[in-house]
Amino acid sequence: MKLLLDKCVSLRTRAALAAAGRDAVWAGDWSPDPGDEAILEAARRESRVLITLDKDFGELAAAFGQPHCGIVRLVDIHPGGRLCVP
């Protein structure tokens, strides 16, 4: 499974995912920030599941019908927190 981590997900999370052999791209590497719509479109175009702490992506998908390959919203995680990877 290919993942796109929103910039609010820590860079350490990408490192942990890479160490676990996951294909993960971090939107924080993109400069300047392209905005939520462009991030969601990039995830869809590259067949990546978007991982985020932001509620706005769900609104783009549900209310506005923007296509996607999956959105996982992490809750109760501080933006600097680490996502544990098995």
Sketch the domain layout of the chain as residue ranges: 2-47+63-73
Q: Is the pTM of this model over 0.85?
A: no
> Furthest-apart CA pair in the chain: how many Å?
36
Mean pLDDT of successive 10-residue segments in the chain (86 residues)?
92 89 93 91 97 91 90 77 48
Contacting residues for 45 by C-beta, under 8 A, at least 6 apart:
none
User: In this structure, which amino acid lies at residue 45?
Assistant: R
pLDDT the model gives residue 20: 94
State whether residue 73 is helix, strand or coil: strand
pLDDT the model gives residue 24: 95
φ, ψ for residue 79, nearest 5 deg: -50, -30
pLDDT the model gives residue 62: 87
